[in-house]
């Protein structure tokens, strides 16, 4: 054994490190929480880091996991050592190939960061439901429970697979292990080489398909032979556990770390035993140690190899005197007699040889579920299960960690059962994503892990919001390996990096007696006490805590770091905790700063180092008084006027206490009410736009571009101003359609994210001082009181009716009520203005099918929902099926809507007499292409329903149920470029090929935004993205031109920042086209690497440089013999370089390789020139007029 | 005709060189310039301010979205090769040195003392033949005197002189109260040559949008006159090498520059207007003129019309202005 080398890293990197070094081909597709494994491998390959044989692995990103699996399958068949990484739905997409790969007895290891499968809801978090869906594939399934194990098992699985020819699915818990940072012992290359047999690689190569030794594999077999052939591989499975066991032993010789197929831990004579897999086993082991030290006879079995299930090893591992076993599954199989591990344990024991078979007369084996979707699994829960096992008849099919007050499955436990050892230092930090708290804490763990003898662990809880995201960091360190795979319940140190959090989170609940509290506050040490809410004062006194305060924003500003307070808070943490001697701590922090920021420039490093030096002088201890000095309590999370559900469920979730909600609180099918973001007043902006009406030209552009619907325009009867609050501002409207009406631009002060996009697009300037516009960013704190009252009044003002708006253009559209508000999208998001517009134009009759991605997260990630309803209770009906099937999902909406409309029409005709022929004729004859017709149809349907209620006829009831479908519904299919260009393209293409009235809105950010900026086929030439680090070398796919190959699809390419009216026009034309429509909407994104406040200007440059030509392709014109394409942007007048030089994604390439950038820029210029020329010719094309065309609007099916 | 000249100790076959500009960004272009006869190239300036601005502008978008959201801990790749410091500039200096046989002179514009020194040293390490300090600063602080500014500049030269082996020139703006005095101080600090003058961006107004704009027009021959004045004055007193930058478009302009005392002439606008062959045109024009005028060498003509040798030195003095006004009066009076 060589010298031990310790590294501090997370589970994903630990696994990727081995996989990269032991493979030749890596085919992946990004999916949370597995994406970082592929990204690491890609980055290492880009840096030229080879595998242990000196070859740089070929890392390819495919269009889906199905594509990745197919590539893996082919690469394996052709003889390369191949791997992949995935999770959840991605793993499901791989299943067909997994069967094939296993059926062909192929050595292969697939690494899975296990994640919940979407059922009633999507979840990105961890459980074993994905892996369990693969247990019939023929893969061996090996589970690791910690970062060290994940590192080690990544190698051992590879070895065992080569030895056994059984492909291995190596999994570990998503987030809990994949994202947990631990100090581990690194596997050096010599260990990897010693473990992997060259003979087995030779055999793998010899099985390869090659024309030099041709064979056929993958034949179709018939009833006469398939069955026997399927059984022919049995002995490989029988031998697999033994091969794995041998690999474990060899590994032990090389590293000293010992593993087994199953591992028993606890009292050798234990009577009560838990059986489980994964990270929960670490917590169970820690608890068992504690309970045994108290004299309890308990034990646990950690199952490492789940398939082939090692029944002999399991039976041998079980203590002889056991009489109670609880088998814990981190998955749910509704309708089964028990979850998979439970069923296998039962079977294993029943099949055990007589000498190992337990005495079933005395033995009770129960199964239970825990930890779904990363639900916490704590020592208290483990203890609770052991207590349940003490009963004569422990509960069968129990749950732990929730309160099931519906079917009473849950076990109770004492939440105060706390076993965190004293020698472990436990710190919790509450921060904002944007303040850098997590990054600093990751550095802190590495410093502690690498500069002290301590073991260290870091785990980070992220928000579901992208704007103003809250992060909670959990750091532990101590002299022994840390097995606490649960959040810190009893912290020695609590850091609050945002003063406003004191009014939101009861963070000191987590503080231990005598703990230290560090607060970032804009107050001096002698004035801070009185600024604390009562609850905080009480806790500080009651728990006898030490209290420190620092004005981190002041220090960061002084150091030139703006709002980045991470370095300040990190320095204070090291100073207070004295983990390292003061001087050394500062030096190590500075080293970490140089490592983190060195490549981003000396100035950034210098400023951060300055912040280190300034921090200590600004850190002050506050003497905690003996008594509280305030009666001001934390404000309620949700106001009293909120609906009951919002108060009793949403509000609890918002307060960070969702774990306490019982089963009965939830709808059983995932249905959720709309419009709950409005109750969540997040107050995340430091500055908000304030209207200067004297300057305003009433263009409504600010309202149009706002990504969060936090600034709105309204026209209303000036008489209503009599009730207005004092500070409410108003103008007389200038337009003809609302002549004499009052006009107001109003900010939602507590919902604005402060992105400044509205101010940047405002075209009106103060003539005396053009630095000021008609809206200007001003202090939120100074304006929130007045503007809150103004906004409440603004909401009470009636919304104008659609038909009153004479011109439904960019300006007019902003008088329509948005039915999408205050989403959790990033500040400056380029997607959400399109969605808001969609809801304004068609929201009250809109069905949305939303592909998984950013738009499904900010559109439907709890706790709150941004889609909302109008006064009549109508609004968008929204759902997300999957990433890959969204076009088809939306098509299904259309089919269902159309059928129900047909049913309604048929019943109308059938019931014409009793209903009244005039009403029926009116309903059947109404033209609903314009807003007036839709309004009339609604009115007639209301009349119809009244009539139907008086009819005693079963058919009348049936008609009543579907009568609303007589009002035209608008079906929109939303998603990003990852969906439309890549994973869902087959469906997109197919749905476009059909004559159905669906509208596809592709919000093109040109990368996979939600998973962190991986390239898609929409990534433009010259841009750097993950998996295109050197800059994409070929042009993006032209989705619009592909769709033009059909002649019945309405297609528009839009960019609201370039031409607002063209965007609105395209949406309206698409909706009015009774066939398929495709809108490709340019959507600036944080992944482009510039301040999105300037995104509208950048969109304008995109259009004017030809990077993003604007056009509309209308098939209606084809029928009239006209050129179908209208170019809405002029011939490029700016060079493409003007666009590219503004974004880091391009600048990065320029910086890394100027010569390549120059080449790519020239290529990009050529491409945009040619693209524009092509479009220009298409716009001027002469076509013969088709006099015999059936219908000019192409809706033959209508 | 012998057109040999010296600039900062570098021997050049003639005085016409490529001035600091983006012309040198493209390797093909710069090779064409060498083929066209350029005697040396000067890199565009490495702007410390630009480096700082880019570092800070990139920090925000790249860092504020990092480690905030569980599905995307970052949004852009972070390859080791991606750096925001001066490396691309330094790399380009190296590439130019490798690709060209004519001298390569780098240019630097710093904003902090540390920046001037740090980047100066890094630039020298690329192997360039000399360093031009682009002293371009717009004072806006009323508490800062002209002496303060001049002293700061001289200190920078002094300190750079202490750490650099390559010769240093300084490119000045025309807005120094006493240019001869400042030139003397710079010479004492160790400067080997002065370039007259830089042509910074000037603010302009967009009267439609009520906004400021920045413009930089190509130079015209008339701009040469201010250069001739100061080159003529300085060359009569100082032994410093002098170079004229701005306003030389024709052979006659080039000849005038030499007559005022310039060792070299930096060309940018003329190259943009006429292409690389301008070097040949100016060189040949100068050569023909020297022959026509019976000069034996370039050195013989250099400074022939400077303040100390000009037959009518009053053209350099204020009286010159009054005289001109008087002649105008004569025209305007009935």
pLDDT in tens, B259-316: 999 999 999 999 999 999 999 999 999 999 999 999 999 999 999 999 999 988 888 8
Give the tokens for residue A996.
């159905």
Shortest CB distance from A604 goes to which of B59, B78, B209? B59
H or E element in which residue A193 lies:
helix A189-195
Longest dimension (CA), chain B: 86
A1026 to chain B: which residues are within 8 Å by CB?
76-77
Contact at CB, B63 and A564, closer than 8 angstroms: yes
Closest Cβ opposite residue A43 in set B26, B55, B79 = B79
Contact state of A1148 with B77 under an 8 Å Cβ cutoff = yes
Rg, chain B, Cα only = 22
Using CA atoms, how far apart are residues B249 and B267, in angstroms rounded to an integer? 8
Write down the pLDDT at residue B237.
85
Are the C-beta atoms of A1016 and A854 separated by less than 8 Å? Answer: no
pLDDT for B63 equals 78
Residue A1194's nearest CA partner among A1012, A1023, A996 is A996
Chain A positions in Cβ-Cβ contact with residue B52 (cut-off 8 Å): 601, 603
Q: Which two tokens stand for residue A1058?
A: 């370039």
Reply yes or no on whether A700 is catalytic.
Answer: no
Measure the CA–CA gap between B168 and B130, rounded to whole angstroms.
6
Q: Has A1010 been annotated as catalytic? A: yes
The phi-psi region of residue A670 (left if phi > 0; otherwise alpha if psi is between -120 and 50; otherwise beta) is left
- pLDDT, tens digit, for every residue of A249-279? 999 999 999 999 999 999 999 999 999 999 9
Q: Which two tokens stand for residue A474?
A: 């959990």
φ and ψ at A573, to 5 degrees? -60, -50
Q: Do residue B72 and residue A1153 have CB atoms under 8 angstroms apart?
A: no
Task: Please tell me if residue B207 touches chain A, with a CB cutoff of 8 Å.
Answer: no
Instruction: Name the residue facing B58 among A124, A442, A600 (closest C-beta).
Output: A600
Q: Which two tokens stand for residue B11?
A: 């021997």
Q: Among A41, A61, A497, A600, pick the best mutation site for testing chain B contact (most B Cβ within 10 A).
A: A600
For chain A, say whether B99 makes contact (Cβ under 8 Å).
Answer: no
Quote the pLDDT of residue A815: 97
The answer to whether A948 and A915 are in contact (CB under 8 A) is yes
Secondary element (H or E) of residue A1068: helix A1060-1072
> CB of A113 within 8 A of CB of A174?
yes
Q: Which residues of B touch A434 (CB under 8 A)?
A: 64-65, 68
Q: Are A488 and A476 in contact (CB under 8 A)?
A: yes
End-to-end alpha carbon distance in chain A: 77
CB contact under 8 A, B78 and A857: no
Task: Measure in Å the smallest separation between the Cα of A518 and chain B Cα atoms.
Answer: 21
Across the interface, of B55, B70, B87, the residue whose CB is closest to A462 is B70
Nearest to A462 among B69, B118, B209 (CB): B69
| H/E segment holding residue A18 | helix A11-21
If you average pLDDT over residues B206-234, what whole number do you get?
A: 90
| pLDDT exceeds 50 at position A1196 | no
* pLDDT band at B65; cut points 50, 70, 90: confident
Contacts of B58 in chain A (CB under 8 A): 600-601, 1089, 1144, 1147
Reading the block at residue A292, the tokens are 């045994």
Catalytic site residue from A13, A65, A282, A888: A65
ipTM: 0.90
Inter-residue contact A170 to A479 (CB < 8 Å): no
Q: For residues A717 and B275, give the distance between their C-alpha atoms in angstroms, rounded to a whole number.
A: 67
What is the C-alpha separation between B43 and B66, in angstroms, rounded?
Answer: 36
The pLDDT of residue A1194 is 45
Q: Among A286, A288, A260, A262, which residue's Cα sits nearest to residue A273?
A: A288
Note whether B203 contacts A: Cβ–Cβ < 8 A. no
Nearest 5°: the CA angle B282, B288, B294 is 135
- Spatial separation of the C-alpha atoms in residues B314 and A844, rounded to whole Å: 86
Please tell me the least confidently modeled range out of A846-860, A865-879, A909-923, B81-95: B81-95
DSSP code of residue A212:
T
Among A442, A462, A1013, the residue with its CB nearest the CB of B75 is A1013
Measure the CA dihedral A1137/A1138/A1140/A1144, to 10°: 130
Tracing tokens 């807003």 back to the chain, one arrives at A931
Q: Average of pLDDT values for B203-221?
A: 87
Longest dimension (CA), chain A: 97
**pLDDT above 60 for A907:** yes
- Give, as one character, the DSSP assignment of residue A269: T
Cα–Cα dist A158/A138, whole Å: 16
Nearest CA in chain A to B71: A1011
pLDDT level of residue B217 (50, 70, 90 thresholds): confident
Beta strands A455-461 and A470-478, pairing class = antiparallel
pLDDT given for residue A464 in this prediction: 79
- Tell me the per-residue pLDDT of A105-145, one tens digit each, with 9 for 90 and over: 999 999 999 999 999 999 999 999 999 999 999 999 999 99
From A32, A283, A864, A1100, active-site residue: A32
Q: How far apart are CA A147 and CA B263, in angstroms?
A: 69
CB contact under 8 A, B61 and A1144: yes
Active site residue A476: no
Token pair for residue A889? Answer: 């999902």
Q: Give the span between the Cα atoms of B221 and A901, in whole angstroms.
A: 79
Interface of B with A in 114-133 (CB under 8 A): 118
Helix (H) or strand (E) holding A491: strand A491-496
B77/A33 Cβ within 8 A: no
Whether chain A has a CB inside 8 Å of the CB on B68: the answer is: yes
CA distance A1022 to A119: 39
CA distance A285 to chain B (A): 28
* Cα–Cα dist A368/A498, whole Å: 40
Is the CB of A1144 less than 8 angstroms away from the CB of B58?
yes
Q: What pairs with residue A745 in β-bridges?
A: A713
B68 CB neighbours in chain A (<8 A) are 432-434, 438, 462-463, 466, 469, 471
| CA trace torsion B33, B36, B42, B48 (10° rounding) | -20
pLDDT at residue number A1167: 97
Q: Distance, in angstroms, between B25 CA and closest chain A CA?
A: 10
DSSP A720-782: GGGG--TT---EE--SSTTTT-EEEEEE-TTT-----HHHHH---B-SS-TT-BSEEEEEHHH
Q: Are strands A1050-1054 and A1111-1113 parallel, antiparallel or unpaired?
A: antiparallel
Closest-CA residue in chain A for B77? A1026
- Mean of the pLDDT values across residues B226-244? 93
Burial B234-247 (b: 16+ CB within 10 A, else e): bbbebebbbbbbbb
Task: Please tell me what DSSP assigns to residue A456.
Answer: E
Question: Tokens 């869906």 sit at which residue?
Answer: A133
Chain A contact present for B53, CB below 8 A: no
Euclidean distance between the first and the last CA atom of chain B, given in angstroms as a whole number:
51
What's the Cα-to-Cα distance from B53 to each of A24, A597, A776, rounded to whole Å?
42, 15, 24
């Amino acid at each position: 054994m060589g010298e031990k080398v310790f590294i501090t890293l997370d589970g994903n990197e630990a696994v990727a490190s081995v996989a990269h070094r032991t493979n030749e081909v890596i085919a992946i597709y990004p999916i949370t929480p597995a994406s970082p494994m592929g990204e690491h491998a890609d980055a290492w390959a880009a840096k030229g880091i080879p595998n242990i044989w000196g070859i740089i692995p070929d890392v390819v990103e495919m269009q889906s996991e199905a594509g990745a699996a197919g590539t893996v399958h082919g690469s394996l068949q052709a003889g390369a050592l191949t791997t992949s990484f995935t999770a959840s739905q991605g793993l499901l997409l791989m299943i067909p190939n997994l069967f094939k790969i296993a059926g062909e007895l192929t050595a292969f290891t697939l690494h899975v960061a296990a994640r919940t499968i979407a059922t009633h809801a999507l979840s990105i978090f961890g459980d074993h439901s994905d892996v369990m869906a693969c247990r019939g594939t023929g893969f061996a399934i090996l589970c690791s429970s910690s970062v060290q194990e994940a590192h080690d098992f990544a190698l051992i699985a590879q070895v065992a697979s080569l030895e056994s020819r059984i492909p291995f699915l190596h999994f570990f818990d998503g987030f809990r292990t994949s994202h947990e940072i631990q100090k581990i012992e690194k596997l050096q290359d010599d260990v990897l080489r010693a473990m992997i047999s060259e003979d087995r690689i030779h055999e793998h190569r010899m099985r390869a398909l090659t024309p030099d030794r041709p064979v056929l594999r993958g034949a179709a077999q018939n009833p006469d032979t398939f069955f026997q052939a399927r059984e022919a591989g049995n002995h490989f499975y029988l031998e697999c556990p033994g091969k794995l066991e041998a690999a474990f032993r060899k590994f032990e010789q090389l590293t000293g770390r010992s593993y087994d197929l199953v591992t028993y831990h606890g009292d050798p004579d234990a009577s009560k035993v838990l059986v489980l897999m994964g990270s929960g086993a670490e917590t169970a082991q820690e608890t068992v140690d504690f309970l045994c030290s108290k004299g309890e006879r308990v034990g646990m079995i950690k199952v490492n190899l789940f398939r082939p299930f090692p029944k002999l090893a399991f039976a041998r591992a079980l203590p002889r005197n056991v009489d109670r076993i609880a088998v814990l599954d981190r998955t749910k199989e509704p309708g089964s007699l028990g979850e998979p591990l439970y069923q296998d344990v039962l079977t294993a024991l029943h099949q055990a040889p007589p000498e190992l078979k337990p005495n079933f007369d005395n033995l009770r084996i129960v199964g239970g579920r825990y930890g779904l979707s990363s639900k916490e699994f704590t020592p208290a829960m483990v203890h609770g299960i052991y207590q349940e096992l003490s009963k004569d008849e422990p509960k069968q099919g129990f749950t732990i960690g929730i309160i099931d007050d519906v079917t009473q499955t849950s076990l109770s436990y004492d939440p105060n059962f706390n076993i965190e050892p004293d020698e472990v230092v436990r710190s919790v930090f509450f921060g904002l994503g944007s303040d850098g708290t997590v990054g600093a804490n990751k550095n802190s763990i590495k410093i502690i892990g690498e500069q002290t003898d301590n073991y260290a662990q870091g785990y980070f809880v992220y928000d579901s919001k992208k704007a103003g995201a809250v992060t909670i960091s959990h750091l532990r360190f101590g002299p022994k390996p840390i097995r606490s795979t649960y959040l810190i319940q009893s912290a020695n140190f609590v850091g609050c990096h945002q003063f406003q959090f004191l009014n939101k989170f009861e963070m000191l609940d987590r503080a231990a007696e005598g703990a230290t509290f560090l607060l970032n506050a804009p107050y001096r040490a002698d004035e801070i006490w009185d600024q604390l809410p009562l609850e905080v004062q009480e806790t500080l006194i009651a728990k006898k805590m030490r209290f420190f305060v620092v004005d981190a924003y002041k220090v960061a500003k002084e150091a030139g770091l703006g709002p980045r307070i991470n370095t300040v808070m990190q320095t204070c943490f090291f100073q207070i905790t004295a983990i390292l001697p003061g001087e050394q701590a500062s030096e190590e922090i500075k080293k970490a700063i140089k490592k983190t920021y060195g490549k981003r420039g000396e100035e950034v490093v210098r400023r951060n180092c300055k912040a280190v030096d300034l921090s200590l002088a600004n850190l002050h201890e506050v003497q905690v008084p003996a008594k509280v000095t305030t009666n001001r309590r934390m404000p309620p999370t949700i106001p009293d006027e909120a609906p009951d559900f919002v108060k009793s469920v949403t509000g609890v979730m918002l307060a960070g206490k969702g774990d306490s909600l019982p089963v009965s609180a939830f709808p059983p099918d995932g249905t959720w009410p709309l419009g709950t973001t409005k109750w969540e007043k997040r107050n995340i902006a430091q500055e908000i736009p304030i209207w200067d009406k004297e300057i305003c030209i009433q263009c409504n552009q600010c309202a149009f571009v706002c990504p969060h619907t936090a600034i709105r325009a309204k026209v209303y009867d000036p008489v209503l101003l009599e009730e207005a609050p004092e500070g409410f501002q108003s103008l007389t409207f200038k337009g003809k359609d609302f002549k004499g009406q009052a006009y107001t631009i109003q900010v939602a002060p507590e919902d604005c994210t402060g992105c400044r996009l509205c101010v940047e697009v405002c075209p009106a300037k103060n003539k005396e001082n053009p630095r000021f516009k008609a809206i200007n960013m001003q202090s939120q704190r100074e304006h929130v009181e007045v503007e809150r009252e103004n906004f409440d009044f603004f909401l009470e003002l009636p919304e104008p009716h659609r038909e009153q708006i004479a011109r439904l253009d960019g300006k007019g559209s902003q008088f329509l009520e948005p039915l999408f508000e205050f989403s959790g999208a990033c500040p400056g998001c380029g997607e959400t203005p399109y969605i808001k517009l969609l809801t304004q134009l068609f929201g009250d009759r809109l069905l949305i099918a939303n592909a998984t991605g950013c738009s499904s997260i900010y559109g439907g990630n709890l706790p709150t929902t941004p889609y909302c309803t109008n006064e009549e209770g109508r609004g968008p009906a929204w759902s997300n099926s999957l990433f890959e099937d969204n076009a088809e999902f939306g098509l299904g909406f259309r089919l269902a809507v159309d059928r129900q409309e047909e049913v309604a029409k048929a019943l109308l005709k059938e019931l014409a007499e009793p209903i009244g022929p005039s009403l029926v004729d009116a309903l059947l004859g109404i033209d609903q292409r314009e807003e007036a017709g839709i309004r009339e149809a609604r009115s007639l349907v209301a009349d119809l329903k009244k009539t139907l209620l008086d009819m005693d006829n079963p058919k009348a009831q049936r008609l009543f149920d579907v009568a609303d479908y007589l009002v035209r519904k608008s079906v929109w299919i939303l998603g990003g470029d990852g969906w439309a260009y890549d994973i869902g393209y087959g469906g997109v293409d197919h749905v476009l090929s059909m004559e159905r009235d669906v509208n596809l809105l592709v919000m093109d950010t040109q990368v996979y935004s939600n998973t962190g900026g991986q390239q898609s086929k929409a990534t433009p030439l010259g841009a750097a993205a993950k998996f295109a680090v050197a800059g994409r070398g070929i042009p993006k796919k032209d989705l619009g031109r592909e769709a033009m190959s059909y002649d019945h699809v309405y297609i528009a390419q839009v960019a609201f920042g370039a031409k607002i009216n063209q965007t609105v026009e395209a949406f309206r034309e698409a909706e009015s086209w009774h066939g398929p429509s495709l809108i490709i909407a340019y959507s600036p994104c944080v992944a482009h690497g510039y301040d999105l406040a300037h995104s509208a200007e950048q969109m304008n440059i995109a259009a004017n440089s030809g990077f993003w030509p604007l056009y509309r392709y209308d098939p209606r014109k084809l029928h009239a013999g006209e050129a179908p394409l209208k170019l809405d942007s002029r011939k490029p007048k700016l060079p493409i370089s003007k666009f590219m030089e503004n974004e880091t994604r391009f600048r990065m390439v320029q910086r890394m390789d100027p010569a390549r950038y120059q080449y790519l820029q020239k290529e990009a210029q050529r491409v945009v020139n040619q693209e524009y020329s092509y479009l220009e010719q298409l716009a001027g094309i002469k076509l013969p007029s088709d006099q015999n065309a059936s219908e000019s609007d192409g809706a033959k099916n209508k | 005709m012998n057109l040999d000249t010296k600039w900062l100790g570098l021997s050049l076959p003639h005085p016409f060189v490529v001035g600091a500009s983006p012309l040198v960004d493209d390797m093909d272009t710069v090779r064409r310039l060498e083929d066209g006869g350029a005697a040396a190239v000067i890199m565009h300036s490495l702007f410390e301010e630009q480096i700082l601005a880019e570092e800070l502008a990139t920090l925000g978008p790249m860092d504020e979205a990092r480690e905030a959201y569980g599905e995307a801990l970052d949004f852009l790749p972070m390859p080791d090769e991606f750096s925001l410091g001066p490396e691309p500039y330094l790399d380009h200096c190296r590439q130019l040195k490798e690709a060209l046989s004519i001298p390569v002179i780098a240019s630097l514009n710093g904003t902090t003392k540390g920046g001037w020194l740090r980047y100066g040293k890094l630039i020298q390490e690329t192997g360039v033949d000399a360093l031009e300090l682009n002293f371009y600063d717009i004072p806006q602080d009323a508490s800062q005197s002209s002496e303060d500014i001049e002293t700061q500049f001289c200190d920078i030269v002094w300190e750079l002189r202490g750490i650099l082996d390559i010769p240093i020139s300084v490119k000045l703006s025309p807005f120094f109260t006493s240019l001869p005095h400042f030139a003397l101080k710079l010479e004492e600090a160790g400067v080997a040559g002065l370039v007259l003058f830089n042509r910074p961006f000037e603010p302009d107004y967009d009267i439609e949008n009520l906004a400021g704009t920045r413009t930089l027009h190509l130079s015209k021959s008339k701009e040469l006159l201010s250069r001739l004045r100061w080159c003529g004055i300085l060359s009569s007193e100082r032994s410093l090498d002098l170079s004229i930058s701005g306003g030389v478009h024709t052979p006659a302009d080039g000849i005038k520059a030499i007559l005022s005392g310039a060792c070299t002439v930096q060309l940018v606008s003329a190259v943009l207007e006429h292409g690389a062959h301008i070097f040949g045109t100016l060189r040949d024009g100068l050569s023909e003129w020297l022959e026509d005028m019976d000069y034996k060498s370039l050195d013989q003509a250099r400074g022939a019309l400077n303040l100390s040798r000009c037959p009518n030195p009053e053209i350099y003095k204020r009286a010159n202005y009054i005289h001109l006004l008087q002649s105008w009066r004569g025209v305007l009076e009935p």
